[in-house]
Amino acid sequence: MRVQTLGQFIIEKQNDFPYAKGELSRLLRDIGIAAKIVNREVSKAGLAEILGETGEINVQGENVKKLDVFANDQFIAALKAGGEVCAIASEENEDIIPIDNEVSKTAKYVIAMDPLDGSSNIDVNVSVGTIFSIYRRVSLSGPGTIEDFMQQGTEQVAAGYIIYGSSCMLVYTTGRGVNGFTLDPSIGEFCLSNPDIKTPQDGSMYSLNEGNYLHFPDGVKKYVKYCQEEDKATNRPYSSRYIGSGVADIHRNLLKGGVYIYPTTTKSPNGKLRLLYECNPLAFIIEQAGGKATDGKKRIMEKGMHELHQRTPLFIGSTQMVEKAMEFMLKHETVSS
Ligand code: AHM
Ligand code: MG
| pLDDT reading at 225 higher than 50 | yes
Hey, which of 53, 62, 114, 117 would you mutate to test ligand 1's pocket, going by the most ligand atoms within 8 Å of its Cβ?
117
- In the chain, which ranges are continuous DSSP H helix? 6-13, 23-43, 66-82, 218-228, 246-256, 280-288, 319-331
Residues 187 and 102 in one domain: yes
* 122 vs 57, residue with greater confidence: 122
Residues 115 and 232 in one domain: no
Residues 298 and 266 in one domain: yes
In this structure, are residues 2 and 8 in contact, taking their beta carbons and an 8 Å threshold? no
Question: Is residue 291 very low, low, confident or very high in pLDDT (cuts 50, 70, 90)?
Answer: very high
Where residue 275 sits, what CATH number does that domain have?
3.40.190.80
Closest ligand to the CA of 245: 1
Lowest mean pLDDT among 39-53, 132-146, 284-298, 303-317: 39-53
pLDDT score of 14:
75
Q: Kindly report the protein residue whose alpha carbon is nearest to atom 15 of ligand 1.
A: 244
Lowest mean pLDDT among 44-58, 177-191, 201-215: 44-58
In this structure, are residues 177 and 196 in contact, taking their beta carbons and an 8 Å threshold? yes
Question: Is residue 18 very low, low, confident or very high in pLDDT (cuts 50, 70, 90)?
Answer: low
Q: What is the mean pLDDT of residues 196-213?
A: 97
Lowest mean pLDDT among 13-27, 91-105, 110-124, 227-241: 13-27
Distances (CA, A) of 271 to 229, 268, 329: 26, 5, 15
Q: What is the mean pLDDT of residues 81-86?
A: 93
pLDDT score of 19:
57
Q: Ligand 2 centroid to 265 CA: how many Å?
A: 18
**123 inside domain:** yes
Ligand 1 site: residues with CB under 6 angstroms? Answer: 62, 91, 114, 117-119, 209, 244-246, 249, 272
pLDDT score of 48:
54
**1 inside domain:** no
Residues 26 and 157 in one domain: yes
Q: How far is CA 149 from the centre of its chain?
A: 16
Q: Ligand 2 centroid to 71 CA: how many Å?
A: 11
Closest ligand to the CA of 282: 1
pLDDT score of 333:
82
Q: Ligand 1 centroid to 121 CA: how many Å?
A: 9
Closest ligand to the CA of 272: 1
C-beta neighbour count of 188 within 10 angstroms:
10
Q: What is the pTM of this model?
A: 0.94
Question: Is residue 122 very low, low, confident or very high in pLDDT (cuts 50, 70, 90)?
Answer: confident
Q: Compute the C-alpha angle 171/5/287, nearest 5°.
A: 20
Where residue 110 sits, what CATH number does that domain have?
3.30.540.10
Residues 217 and 268 in one domain: yes
Q: How many distinct structural domains can be found in the chain?
A: 2
| pLDDT reading at 53 higher than 60 | no
**38 inside domain:** yes
* 24 vs 149, residue with greater confidence: 149
Q: Ligand 2 centroid to 273 CA: how many Å?
A: 8
Residues 228 and 326 in one domain: yes
Residues 219 and 149 in one domain: no
pLDDT score of 155:
98
pLDDT score of 337:
44
d(CA 329, CA 335): 10
By residue range, what is the domain housing residue 261? 205-336
In this structure, are residues 42 and 122 in contact, taking their beta carbons and an 8 Å threshold? yes
* 85 vs 103, residue with greater confidence: 85
pLDDT score of 336:
47
Lowest mean pLDDT among 44-53, 165-174, 256-265, 277-286: 44-53
Q: What is the mean pLDDT of residues 19-42?
A: 88
**110 inside domain:** yes
Question: Is residue 46 very low, low, confident or very high in pLDDT (cuts 50, 70, 90)?
Answer: low
**Residue 62 CA: which ligand 1 atom is closest?**
3
